[in-house]
Chain A
Amino acid sequence: MKSRARKIVMLLLAAALLFVSGRVEKSLNGDRDALGITISLPLQDAPPVLALMTQALGGFRGLISNFLWMRANDLQINDQFFEAAQLADWITDLEPHYSQVWVYQGWNEAYNISVKFKDFGDRWRWVQNGIELLRDRGLRYNPDDLLIYRELGWFYQHKMGADLDDANTYYKTEWAQEMTPFFGPHGTNIDALVNPRTSQDRTNAYILETKYKIDPVFAQKVNDEWGPLDWRLPEAHAIYWGTLGLEKSKKHPDKVDPSLVIQVRRIIYQSMMQAFEHGQIIDNPFANSAELGPNLAIIPKTNEAYERSMQEDPGDARNIEVAHRNFLLNATYYLYEANHIAQAQKWYDKVRQEYPDKTILQNDVNSFPRNVSLDEYCVYRVQGVATDTSRADTTAAIEGLLASSYEYLAIGQDDRYAGLGLLARKVWETYMHKIRGFQNDVGRTGLPPFSDMNKLVLSGLLDPVNGLPYGARAVIRSQLRLPGDATMPYGVISTNSVVTTHPSTNAPAGPAGQ
């Protein structure tokens, strides 16, 4: 009896100590975290199987992980990828706090494995797998780890946003289609997600948060800081994850590698540059396609990004200066092309002010910004005709500009229509000005009058057989107030009479008037 009582006391004591140690451990973990002496944080929000595995395997986790790494490597060498996703899951499960492991596995899926497939759909699946691994699982266990945010931002900026992968257009299209329901047809519909008014808005905001892990409130903050961005494009998401990573890393400033902070900032700035260059989706309903155009609205913020980058990263300031100057010249040209002449002049003046000693035309040692007018620079950008007097090349350039301008008119890009038309005229004028000294040769080398060239291009585009599609021709005719197209597409009723429609019932037809 005495022995039994002793056993009961011992058991109670053990239970009490277990309870107390559990309480103390929580407090100890908090202290360790506060003092910055935690190498790996306790696993939080992990599924029970993972929590059990990480605790039960103890030191053997490393051995199993090694075996899985070797198997994954062997299979990859043999081009057997069907197990890759599972092995990556197991490896990361065994080392959930090693961000390098997550980053390597995500990168391996998005870069190494994806490119092994010839079908773009397969590649896109692996890019998504890489993103999901980091976004849905890596950040779940390492919510403040800047390295994972950097990698995620890099996938969006480089793998999807840049054009090194020949499937990049496919990635952009797929991502835009995926994001359109949330951000609307122009990719800017953040307010409806932050302040949902309909049940559809609430559902969209919920899916965006739970599936894509995008907080609409933070997205709005990013948009206010860097936008307006088109959230259907990958650059906006690269900026989002980079900015979020920088925000999260503020929680543990002593644990963050300063060089990593610079890398993340670079991703944001480079994404801004990309978003400026091709951050707008231009739909072409006549060709049933879409193309990417410059997002002129973010020029001031892109410029700001460069200026901040030069301040924050003085070691790389010289390279950033070169990129900044190229950006300013591009901004000038794109604004000119879009008929925002005053704005173009403003940014061109900035080039003159900040980079007065750098020539801007190739093979012209005197082409300092002060010596080259805005018109001359933009004409040069079209075909490099500043020193060229080739009639054929100039004709081709003018005709190309005019054709492009009318195509933009057809799809509602009126600014670009006007800008390209103006540019075509400037190219014509520049060329004719250059050959004015050779009066005897004007008949041989001169161009036809600009209006004649314009009419020729327009008639070609309006040609019913070889020209633009009927709908595009109709828009151009309407916009330019030209007479109607004599050639109608099949099936279109060519009268103005009212079309009588039958009642939409299944009742037998009766005599009129009944």
Chain B
Amino acid sequence: MQKILAISGLTWKAALRFRLFAVIAVLLVLAVVGLPLIVKDDGTARGLVQIIITYTLSAVTALLGFSTLWLSCGALARDIEECQIQVVATKPIARWQIWLGKWLGIASLNAALLVLAGACIYGLLAWRAAKLPLVERTQLRQELLVARGSAKEADNSAAIDADTEKILQDRLKQNPGIAADLNEVRTQIKEQVKSDYQLVPPDYDRQWNIDLGSVAKDNLRDKPLQLRIKFESADHNPNGTYVGLWEIGNPETTNFFKLPPMSLAPDTFHEFTIPPNLFSEKGMLTIVFINENNMSLLFPLEDGMEVLFPQGSFTVNFIRALGIIFCWLVLLAAIGLMAASFLSFPVAAFFSLTMLAVAFSSSTLAETVDLGSVTTGSTPTAATRSITDTVFIPIYREMVNVLNLVENFSPIDALSTGRSVPWSELAAAFGQIVVLFGGAFALIGIALFSRRELAAAQNQ
């Protein structure tokens, strides 16, 4: 371990000697302090905080991401090209120890810079929030500068599947020997069954029972909760909005509250605060929507109704979010070092940036996979599917699956919407990004580096 730490120390010394650390630190501080001055928010305290979090953390991630790739490629490739590695390699130290030392050095350098940038962002947020009026400050603490957990209605999919199957079997009994694509029929019946759960016809109501857990009465007492709702309408009415009437709590008890009528747009997430303590002793919160519009409204099962509740402090949440960003930086360092283990500096840098570009285009790949075609703009049938689609779509699908393991974390989005980044998510990020992918790149990098002939001068 001492040898690894020694190499790590050398990496730090090199970064300091070349003033890399100082330059990136200054750039980070400038980005964090300067961006909020030039970026225009939407005019609300909430918007201001959201834009500070989003832009500063994104800028920090981008800046550190590119510098990490550059540094990691340079740290190994340039040492080899300039023959400095020969001085180290002739010491009693294994190649894997040199590789890991570099990785640890770059990771710790990133950690230091991330702590510096994170502290600046946190300080900036605290300073800007302190200058706001009390009402806005309180609202921010309830909705944004907090780690909010989320609860939804119990999963209905088993009941929907059972109902679907029952209806399908009944129809098959009524129409024996019918030749139909059963999967297609099942899909259509399932959608009909789902609509019973989702649709609220005019003059009808829909009730959600959401379990906040038995600990709610202790943990959430006197704390306001937020509802996050979304609905769709079959048609667009002239003014583009619908009346929303909400009743929260048990109507048979005094623990019941009617919210004033709201003017709500369809296809939009609306978030509003409800009074505290409306849940039952067992932590069950009952929410009723009354549809007094002349049109059916559809609340999607996936995201139509969500209860947000305070789960922890913003500070710890912020640290966990930085933890996930750090995991990404560690992976980038591994990619850069792996590339530098067998390529010259410019090629390694190009290779690493290309991998980054592929990762950034994962949404395009996902869209292509959803569409099922690389070459055409519409979903092909079995008859029109080309050989290109047959070959590339499965490859893309696997690429998307792999990339999702790294990208399925969104700490910046979570922070900017006041959502909790749980410890389990941080642990998953560490496991998937650092251990699984970082480890794989490290193994490949070490193997390549160990087999490389260091004395063969690359630049001659």
Contacts and interface: CB of A to CB of B under 8 A. Distances in A.
B39 A115 contact: no
Given A79-B268, A166-B241, A122 B41 contact: no
B264 A166 contact: no
Nearest to B47: A82
Contacts of A165: 239-241
B270 interface: yes
Contacts of B416: 82
Given A115-B241, A116-B268, A84 B42 contact: yes
B262 A85 contact: no
A116 B241 CA distance: 8
A164 B239 contact: yes
Interface string A79-114: 111111110010000000000000000000000000
A73 to B, nearest CB: 13
A165 B239 CA distance: 5
A86 B43 contact: no
A85 B263 contact: no
B44 A122 contact: yes
B243 to A, nearest CB: 9
B42 A82 contact: yes
B241 to A, nearest CB: 6
Nearest to B262: A118
Contacts, number: 58
A82 B264 contact: no
Contacts of B41: 82, 85-86
Contacts of B265: 115-118
Given A115-B241, A118-B262, A166-B263, A79 B39 contact: no
Interface in B39-57: 39-44, 46-47, 50-51, 54
A82 B238 contact: no
Contact of B54 (A83, A84, A115): A83
Contacts of A142: none
B270 A85 contact: no
Contact of B269 (A79, A122, A164, A166): A79
B43 A115 contact: no
Contact of A166 (B47, B239, B272): B239
A118 B39 contact: no
A125 B272 CA distance: 18
B302 to A, nearest CB: 14
Given A164-B238, A164-B239, A85 B50 contact: no
A125 B42 contact: yes
B240 A82 contact: no
Interface string A124-158: 01100100000000000000000000000000000
A167 B238 CA distance: 13
Interface string A169-208: 0000000000000000000000000000000000000000
A118 B264 contact: yes
Contact of B46 (A79, A82, A116, A118): A82
Contacts of B241: 115, 165-166
A165 B47 CA distance: 24
A86 B239 contact: no
Given A115-B240, A116-B265, A118-B263, A125 B43 contact: yes
Contact of B43 (A118, A129, A164, A166): A129
A272 B49 CA distance: 43
20 contacts: A79-B268, A81-B42, A82-B41, A82-B44, A82-B46, A82-B47, A82-B50, A83-B51, A85-B41, A85-B42, A85-B43, A115-B265, A116-B265, A117-B265, A118-B272, A122-B44, A129-B42, A129-B43, A164-B239, A165-B239
Given A85-B40, A118-B262, 9 more contacts: A83-B42, A86-B39, A86-B40, A115-B240, A118-B265, A125-B42, A165-B240, A166-B239, A166-B263
Which are the 8 A-B pairs with shortest beta-carbon distances? A82-B47, A82-B50, A79-B269, A86-B40, A116-B268, A115-B240, A118-B262, A115-B265
